[in-house]
Structure formats: structure tokens, C-alpha cells
Amino acid sequence: MSDIVAFRGKQSSLEIEIASEADFSDILKAISERMESKRSFFSGTACVKIAGGSLAEEQQRELEGMLIKDYGVLSVEFQGKTRPQIRVARQAQARREESTLTSELKSGVSSKTTGSAVFIQETVRNGQRIDFDGDIVVCGDVNYGAELVATGNIAVMGALRGKAHAGSSGDETAVVTAYRLEPQQLRIGRIIAIAPKDTQQVNYPEIARVTGDALVIAPVSRVIK
């Protein structure tokens, strides 16, 4: 099975290269065996990029579902000769929803966006606000003075230094994760927390969630074990 898939870890993602002539059932088995062998390492991976092969839309959905449901992956991106197909998981519900995102981002996510999540492939800068009915995934930093508001979860594959409000419609089961969680203000549902001035910096990803009536921050590794 080792010649069917190749895994390459990046700073904020995992890349999987698929052999072009491999049978789909063998691809699923090979990826599953590899993920299972290091479940604690791969679980909670923010982004998985899949290249090579020639998977049909239905096969992509099946592979995406396995990675999200069985291994806790946040997003799956299929790369090919055409424009990459990006899919992002929403834990609150699986149905698709239509939402409107207004911003001035270089990546072009400034018009009507359809889906249960939005994937921002750049840094969100001071003065920019992303307000989305669904999950927000940022492949970059969120600078001081920037703001993310999501009815679902928020994941930042860099430093979160601005404001973040997950579960904005009142969902206190939503979570906020970041590789460097240093928010100006953090809010989940109705629970608000403001970072103290003497916050100690850490070099590992953290997750914030509501426990009781408090907003609690913990290392991601402690959650996925």
C-alpha cells in the first residue's frame, strides 16, 4: 500500500499524493491505514490537500467524508489540473447553506459565497471584518484590529491576534482554534473573554471552548488524545 499514497507534512497542512492508476478502494484503504497508524498525530489536522489520481466527484465526497468524520480533519482540498476544489467541514450541521460575505480580501472572497463554510487563503488585516453564516477557516494570520464573526466554528492556521466571535447566533458548542491564540477579544455564543496584557506566548496550537459559564483555553493535543 505504500506505493499508492505518499504523505507530506507541511507547517499548517498535510499533503497526500495519490498514484494516478490506483483503484479507489485501494486508495481508501491505504489512506485509512496510514491515518490510523498515527491517529493522535493526524487527528484535528486543519487542512488536508490531496493531489494526483483522477477521482470522480462522488469519490471525492466519500474520501472527504472519511477524513472529516473518522479523523477530525477540518478541511479537505482536492488539487488537480483545474481550479482546486476546496471543502470545509461544519460540525453543527451537514446541510449546505447560502451566505453572503462582504470584505475587501485579495483572494477575491468578496461577492456572494455559497456553502457551509468559507476558506480564507490570506492574512486578515487591521480593519477587515469577516461575517459568515457557517464556519470560517483562515489560512494565514488574523491581525490586531481585524474581526471574525461566524455562526459556526473558527479555525486560524496562523496567529489570531484580532477579535473572534464563534457561535454568533448563540451556539455555545462552537470552538475557536489557532496555531497561536493571542486574541484581542474572544467570544463564543454569549461568553466573552478579553486577553490580559501579560498573556504568556506559547508555541503550540490551542482551542477555546465554553465549559460551564466560562471560556476555557487548552492545548489542542490535550483534546485529541
Average pLDDT score over the chain = 77
* Residues written for the chain: 225
CA–CA distance, 7 with 17 (Å, rounded to integer):
7
Nearest to 64 by CA among 96, 88, 94: 88
The answer on pLDDT for 206 being more than 70 is yes
Share of the chain above pLDDT 70, in %: 72
Q: Crossing angle of helices 24-37/57-71, nearest 10°? A: 20
The answer on pLDDT for 166 being more than 90 is yes
Please state which of the four CATH numbers 3.30.750.50, 3.30.70.100, 3.40.1440.10, 3.40.630.10 is assigned to the domain occupying 5-88: 3.30.750.50
CA–CA distance, 152 with 162 (Å, rounded to integer):
18
- Give residue limits of the domains in the chain: 5-88, 98-224
Nearest to 64 by CA among 50, 52, 79, 53: 50
What is the predicted pLDDT for the residue at 102? Answer: 41
- Beta strands 47-52 and 112-114 are unpaired
156 in Cβ contact with 141 (< 8 Å): yes
- Cα Rg, the chain, nearest whole Å: 18
The answer on pLDDT for 15 being more than 90 is no
For domain 98-224, say whether CATH 2.60.120.310 is its number.
no
What is the SS3 assignment for 116?
coil
Under DSSP, the state recorded for 202 is -
Q: Which three cell numbers stand for residue 73?
A: 480533519
Identical fold for domains 5-88 and 98-224, yes or no, is no
Nearest to 191 by CA among 218, 217, 209: 209
